[in-house]
């Protein structure tokens, strides 16, 4: 924490700040400048709340210096985390591909897509049984029935199942039928859900919230890890901006930014960022080129009749073509 | 829904769109223009998913026309909803004032603030027992212990209690000890929580999400109402933007915008938008001037030692001064 | 400037940073913490570029502490600036009202509106002769012909003329016919234009850019002032966000934020923020309640046939009704 | 244009809208729906201003359908524009590389960087002689002296010069010394500058404004083209969002979005988007993978002592390594 005093701050005001610092058990470092004095604080075990100082007389600003997270940092674990799901992995040498329909609609649909996903060499199958929908009048997913279909896909095709839990009860169900618990953008700060996922034995794929800063996203991962589950995969899926040509603005700078701070793997969800079929492949390629450990992508055997997010689903043919490009780019970036 | 064809769209492409419209059981209206043809769709009972059309050959754009909500609209109920909590109300003639500390820290703190809130003539007391915190290492609130203190405040001072539920279990507890269930910005699209609140007998104060559009916010209210609970109060608390001089950017245009569409009352949370003590009164005044039905505001008997959001809490004196301004402005706006 | 070292930074890395600080002629203050060392810099005459340090080995972050502006600050001039235009003023006791049509369309239109503006007691008339339009195919204003009509309005009604200059040549013309040079949001960082306005004898009304931070806006004012023109009025007119129910999101927290740092007066443009007629009065009231020194508002004698921004113009009747509310609120805020 | 009536709109209100449409000389198409009536408008030669209708009685909304641009569209020119500068080109088969320092600081610096740029096989050299700086107290560039150095670089190394013009007078100078006129993000809606560049014989590299929608950016290109200069290169350089881990949020979805509408080439500026050295290569790779026609990138022979944007400049070695990756990715995307 650095306290910046106003330019005309009185000696007693400075002394009063120093006193508060010392009452908190920290050390203060007074630095008189040409126009203003700054006071550095050290000795604090965790982050100091700037609010303790901002309203003191003579204080212009309190600037946070320490970062509030610990477990996600390279300081704590310099080697990159590789999340293993059976013999498949995310964060290792191979590009992780997590493909499937937006929502599980029927056994026939799931199996048709899964056959292509398997043939493409991808190891993970995604598909929603519980869908968070903005409107209460939209298709909410098949529920546990959908999870059972996913479990069948796992048996039949040997694919690992990534599927979303919307609440604490949902985590119980995903533990029963799936392999990776997905936490969606809308739930990134649903702390009850994060804590429950942190007590699971399954890895957690944590999507970035629509308006989440990097720090908030990493702190959400910290919530999961602070309960003991270190198998966290971060997923960038675009943030909300003024731009209307795309559903969300994919923030690929998040990939190198996370790498610089954290040992956790990062994947990108090209489909939700794009919102439009023709943008998915360009954005997925961009994500891999930026250094992501994997991609989530929506494919559908018959996009026109999809019950959810039809506009952004790839056909099976488009998906296979894209995948060969992604693998070639991966070779360039991480040979 | 309006389908806009590309400028060179072929006759068969137009015919194919018309066919899809008719297969869905709707009526199509072909409007040939100088450069492009548009096709209107009518006869659809609810919103049509644009995705059904966007990837058809020759289609440039599918524009949604119908709004996806029903219960919140003035079309359904032309008279403004007045939410009644015993003899107090929100949405009626009187400005609703919901004041109290960010978090309940102790019985002494709660009672000291409550005495001022009661004396000021406000009818609602706010205070968090369960606090959503970005970091797992920050003060999470006193939990049920805090709720018991709130119940004591109600008995002792006759104030109505507005307090946050973070999850389904939290709603059970608020029902036991409080008067109004607050749903926070981070949970605006926590649909399990919305549905549970929709089955409560208590009114729901629904904060706008940090990056929620007006439609998404109204649809969240629609979730609550679709379960049978029509006592919903909307609360604008600022949205996330690039602006750093304020914690969130208070979007006061939301007040007239909601009014134009919905019968639900709207209040504003000046404290969370401001994030800084000196901005709270100006923003609260602005909210009342814009036509809000009430204000949420954080007051604390000793802001410097507050365990949560200290920087934005008003002292008891500042609070009382502000309140007399708010009431005078209310007189101008809704005499 | 505060340099934060990485947690494992070596002694030589710290020494290297100190050496760079000293080479620049500044003083360094090394503060070793539990996990990381921070280095304060003092003795710098102006802002230090963080980039000088960010790529040095062992450096985690360089945090700017000094603010880059001088002339706009309360440090330099503790008393509020009152901009005087003849016997009218902005920033004084009286609420400044700057009203008129978006664009000057004809002498008849300008005179019809001016008669109402004069009768309402407002002292400033606004109207564009040069209109910045997103498309090259839209009405660009009447040009010098429009300025001549404005000069006639001044003579006939005794109103002060506020009108926009789009470029250096435009400033010459506004100096000839007008009283206050308006610089629009799109030109807030048109530095040639700012410098030219800074050499004018006329006051400058400087709109905030659509995505300008508070610092950038204040620095744009600093550009004007650094050329010698201290008569600057800041104008908040909304910023661009994801919210679609309004043309721009009016950021009223900017009013107290500017007040806290600067002696310059601040007015708000309710019409451009709203973009819709029915939102203008609520937002104008909110601006005055937040403490603005004045309001810009678009009025038109026949909004339906306006050539520019018709949707947001008030009728003459709506304008007069709103004005009496604004004055009553002003009484409450600054009695 | 589509006019959506309120659900309870009266017959006369609908008739009144139809009458206005016909007075404007257009055709109306009334489509009665279950709850509301919509009225389509055709026969309009250009875009219709929604404001003409929004305030009419009974109107809920006026939705723009026609796009306001013409010259930039694939409708007008289905083949992609290839901008030729002597024997170099942008938009053709080869990836265009535009590299150089942020600002020209001296002949020695420019030549040192240019030698590397030439050796790398890039055809374009960038460097600012006139720098737009947020603060009046920062280094503004060497002015015409800098342009002369750039002209020397051209002679000596055979590189094409891309350099920024800040105003109309600047275009005159760039025409004298350079090859491509760069228009910066802050000037994207400086219409005097756009019109002047539109009368130049040199190609124009048009950066997207910090908060510009796709439509506004394309309309700015339309301004240049409407004056007769069809040699326009669009440059995505990141937009302003709430995200703080990066200087601007690079919006790579803009690349496929532009492609879908326009024949103009698109390049990306990885350096300004990143703001940090370590992010430049990942973002440049992502841009090429998304399908951009080229990249702008800042390189410096001695980044630590750069007078401008030091934090984001690549060293010569980093630049060469990145370039080989970009070319390999280009092979994958556009073999």
d(CA C138, CA C135): 6
pLDDT at residue C61 in the model: 81
* Packed helices A316-333 and D277-290: angle between N→C axes, nearest 10 degrees: 150
Q: Which residues contact A186 (CB under 8 A, 6 or more apart)?
A: A132, A209, A210, B189, B190
Q: Is C278 on the interface with B (CB under 8 A)?
A: yes
Give the three-state DSSP class for B325. helix
- Whether C234 and B236 have beta carbons less than 8 Å apart is answered as no
User: Predicted confidence band at C46 (pLDDT cuts at 50, 70, 90)?
Assistant: low
pLDDT at residue A47 in the model: 66
Cβ–Cβ below 8 Å for C216 and D168: no
* Interface test with chain A among B136, B223, B247, B314, by most A beta carbons within 10 Å: B136
β-pairing, A160-164 vs D180-183, is unpaired
| Residue C304 per-residue DSSP state | G
Which of these ranges, A177-181, C50-54, C109-113, has the smallest mean pLDDT? C50-54
Q: Which chain C residues are within 8 Å of B287, Cβ to Cβ?
A: 286
pLDDT at residue B269 in the model: 97
Residue positions counted in chain B: 335
Q: Is D38 on the interface with B (CB under 8 A)?
A: yes
- Whether C59 and C41 have beta carbons less than 8 Å apart is answered as no
Name the β-bridge partners of C265.
Answer: none
| Residue D34 per-residue DSSP state | S
- Per-residue b or e along D103-123, where b marks 16 or more CB atoms closer than 10 Å to that residue's CB: bbbeeebbebbbebbbebebb
Nearest Cα residue in chain C from B324: C332
Beta strands in chain B (DSSP E): 2-5, 27-32, 37-42, 59-63, 83-85, 88-90, 96-100, 124-126, 160-164, 180-183, 204-207, 232-236, 266-269, 294-298
* Packed helices B144-157 and B107-119: angle between N→C axes, nearest 10 degrees: 40
Average pLDDT score over residue span B101-111 = 95
Q: Which residues contact A2 (CB under 8 A, 6 or more apart)?
A: A38, A39, A40, A41, A62, A63, A65, C2, C38, C40, C63, C65
pLDDT at residue D35 in the model: 72
Mean pLDDT (chain B) is: 92
Which of these ranges, A263-267, A306-310, C77-81, D66-70, has the smallest mean pLDDT? A306-310
Residue C45 has pLDDT above 80, yes or no: no
d(CA A148, CA A142): 10
User: Predicted confidence band at B3 (pLDDT cuts at 50, 70, 90)?
Assistant: confident
* Interface test with chain A among B69, B130, B135, by most A beta carbons within 10 Å: B135
Burial class of D232 by CB neighbour count within 10 A (0 to 12, 13 to 18, 19+): buried
Q: The tokens 């039949």 sit on which residue?
A: A156
| Residue D185 per-residue DSSP state | G
User: Predicted confidence band at D15 (pLDDT cuts at 50, 70, 90)?
Assistant: very high
User: Predicted confidence band at B47 (pLDDT cuts at 50, 70, 90)?
Assistant: low
* Packed helices D277-290 and D254-261: angle between N→C axes, nearest 10 degrees: 30
Chains with 3 or more CB pairs under 8 A to chain D:
A, B, C
Cβ–Cβ below 8 Å for D51 and C309: yes
| Residue D27 per-residue DSSP state | E
User: Predicted confidence band at B63 (pLDDT cuts at 50, 70, 90)?
Assistant: confident
Give the three-state DSSP class for C190. coil
pLDDT at residue A26 in the model: 85
User: Predicted confidence band at B104 (pLDDT cuts at 50, 70, 90)?
Assistant: very high
Q: Which chain A residues are within 8 Å of B211, Cβ to Cβ?
A: 209-211, 239-240
Cβ–Cβ below 8 Å for D332 and A333: no
| C-beta atoms surrounding D45 within 10 Å | 11
Portion 47-76 of C in contact with D at CB < 8 A: 47, 49-52, 54-56, 68-69
Q: Is C8 on the interface with A (CB under 8 A)?
A: yes
Please write the tens of the pLDDT for every residue from B275-284. 888 999 999 9
Please write the tens of the pLDDT for every residue from B128-153. 999 998 888 888 899 999 999 999 99
Q: Which CATH class is domain A83-333?
A: alpha beta
d(CA A195, CA A190): 9
Q: Which chain D residues are within 8 Å of A291, Cβ to Cβ?
A: 282
pLDDT at residue D284 in the model: 98
Tokens of A32: 């008189």
User: Predicted confidence band at D335 (pLDDT cuts at 50, 70, 90)?
Assistant: low
pLDDT at residue B138 in the model: 84
Average pLDDT score over residue span C70-81 = 91
Burial class of B86 by CB neighbour count within 10 A (0 to 12, 13 to 18, 19+): exposed
* Helix or strand run (H / E) with residue C207: strand C204-207
Four-point Cα dihedral D320, D321, D326, D327, nearest 10: 70
* Packed helices A144-157 and A107-119: angle between N→C axes, nearest 10 degrees: 40
CB-nearest to C190 from D187, D306, D310 is: D187
A138 to B66, B187, B223, C260: CA distances (angstroms): 14, 19, 11, 48
Cβ–Cβ below 8 Å for C213 and B290: no
Cβ–Cβ below 8 Å for B285 and C333: yes
Shortest CA distance to D283 belongs to which of B31, D272, D36, D293? D272
Cβ–Cβ below 8 Å for C310 and D136: no
Please write the tens of the pLDDT for every residue from A120-175. 999 999 999 999 988 888 888 999 999 999 999 999 999 999 999 999 999 999 99
Residue C11 has pLDDT above 70, yes or no: yes
Tokens of A130: 């519980």
Please state the pTM of the whole predicted model.
Answer: 0.92
CB–CB contacts below 8 A, A to C: 66
Name the β-bridge partners of B100.
Answer: B298
Q: How far is B326 from chain C (nearest CA, A)?
A: 9
- Whether B63 and B262 have beta carbons less than 8 Å apart is answered as no
Nearest Cα residue in chain D from A273: D253
Residue D311 has pLDDT above 80, yes or no: no
pLDDT at residue C126 in the model: 97
Q: How far is A231 from chain D (nearest CA, A)?
A: 24
User: Predicted confidence band at C47 (pLDDT cuts at 50, 70, 90)?
Assistant: low
- Whether B273 and B283 have beta carbons less than 8 Å apart is answered as yes
Which of these ranges, A12-16, A103-107, B300-304, C164-168, has the smallest mean pLDDT? B300-304
Portion 177-216 of C in contact with B at CB < 8 A: 211, 213-214
User: Predicted confidence band at B55 (pLDDT cuts at 50, 70, 90)?
Assistant: confident
Cβ–Cβ below 8 Å for A42 and C29: no
Q: Which chain D residues are within 8 Å of A277, Cβ to Cβ?
A: none
Mean pLDDT (chain A) is: 92
- Whether C221 and B243 have beta carbons less than 8 Å apart is answered as no
User: Predicted confidence band at B118 (pLDDT cuts at 50, 70, 90)?
Assistant: very high
β-pairing, D204-207 vs D180-183, is parallel
pLDDT at residue B335 in the model: 67
pLDDT at residue A51 in the model: 73
- Whether D13 and D57 have beta carbons less than 8 Å apart is answered as yes
Mean pLDDT (chain C) is: 92
d(CA D183, CA D168): 11
Q: What is the largest CA-CA distance in chain D?
A: 77
User: Which residue ranges make up each domain of chain D?
Assistant: 2-63, 83-333
Average pLDDT score over residue span D143-151 = 97
Shortest CA distance to A162 belongs to which of A216, A85, A246, A221? A85
Residue B225 has pLDDT above 70, yes or no: yes
Average pLDDT score over residue span B20-29 = 85
d(CA C4, CA C31): 10
Residue C288 has pLDDT above 90, yes or no: yes
pLDDT at residue A110 in the model: 96
pLDDT at residue C7 in the model: 79
Mean pLDDT (chain D) is: 92
pLDDT at residue D45 in the model: 66
Q: What is the 3-state secondary structure (H, E, C) of B91-125?
A: CCCCCEEEEECCECCCHHHHHHHHHHHHHCCCCEE
CB–CB contacts below 8 A, B to D: 67
Burial class of D11 by CB neighbour count within 10 A (0 to 12, 13 to 18, 19+): exposed
Tokens of A85: 């799901």
D157 to B304, D116, D178, D180: CA distances (angstroms): 64, 10, 14, 16
pLDDT at residue A112 in the model: 95
* Interface test with chain D among C128, C137, C242, by most D beta carbons within 10 Å: C137
Q: In sequence order, what DSSP letters do the residues of C281-298 get, joined into one string?
A: HHHHHHHHHHT-SEEEEE
d(CA D3, CA D16): 12
Residue B46 has pLDDT above 70, yes or no: no
d(CA C233, CA C202): 11
Cβ–Cβ below 8 Å for A329 and D325: no
d(CA B167, CA D118): 62
| C-beta atoms surrounding A248 within 10 Å | 23
pLDDT at residue D334 in the model: 86
Q: In sequence order, what DSSP letters do the residues of C61-79 get, joined into one string?
A: EEE--S-S--TTBTTT--S
User: Predicted confidence band at C200 (pLDDT cuts at 50, 70, 90)?
Assistant: very high
Q: How far is D168 from chain C (nearest CA, A)?
A: 9
Q: Which residues contact B197 (CB under 8 A, 6 or more apart)?
A: B165, B171, B181, B183, B204, B224, B227, B229
Architecture of domain B2-63: 2-Layer Sandwich (3.30)
């Amino acid at each position: 924490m650095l306290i910046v005093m106003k330019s005309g701050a009185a000696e007693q005001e400075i002394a009063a700040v120093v006193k508060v610092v010392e009452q908190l058990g920290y050390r203060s470092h007074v630095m008189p400048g040409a126009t203003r004095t700054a006071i550095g604080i050290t000795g604090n075990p965790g982050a100091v709340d700037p609010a303790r100082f901002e309203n003191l007389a003579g204080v212009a600003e309190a600037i946070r210096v320490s970062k509030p997270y610990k477990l996600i940092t390279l300081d704590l674990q310099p080697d990159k985390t590789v999340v293993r799901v059976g013999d498949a992995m995310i964060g290792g040498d191979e590009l992780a591909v997590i493909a499937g329909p937006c929502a599980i609609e029927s056994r026939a649909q799931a199996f048709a897509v899964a056959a292509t996903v398997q043939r493409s060499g991808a190891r993970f199958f995604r598909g929603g049984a519980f869908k968070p929908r903005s409107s209460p009048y939209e298709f909410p997913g098949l529920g546990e029935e959908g999870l059972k279909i996913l479990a069948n896909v796992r048996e039949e095709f040997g694919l690992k199942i990534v599927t979303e839990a919307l609440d604490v009860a949902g985590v119980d169900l995903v533990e029963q039928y799936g392999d990776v618990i997905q936490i969606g953008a809308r739930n990134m700060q649903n702390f009850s859900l994060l804590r429950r996922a942190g007590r699971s034995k399954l890895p957690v794929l944590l999507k970035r919230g629509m308006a989440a800063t990097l720090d908030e996203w990493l702190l959400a991962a910290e919530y999961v890890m602070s309960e003991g589950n270190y198998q966290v995969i971060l997923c960038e899926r675009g943030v909300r901006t003024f731009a209307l040509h795309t559903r969300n603005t994919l923030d690929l700078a998040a990939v190198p930014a996370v790498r610089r701070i954290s040992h956790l793997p990062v994947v990108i969800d090209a489909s939700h960022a794009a919102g439009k079929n023709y943008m998915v492949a360009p954005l997925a390629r961009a994500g891999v080129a930026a250094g992501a450990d994997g991609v989530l992508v929506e494919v559908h055997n018959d996009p026109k009749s999809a019950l959810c997010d039809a506009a952004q689903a790839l056909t099976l043919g488009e998906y296979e073509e894209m995948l060969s490009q992604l693998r070639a780019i991966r070779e360039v970036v991480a040979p």
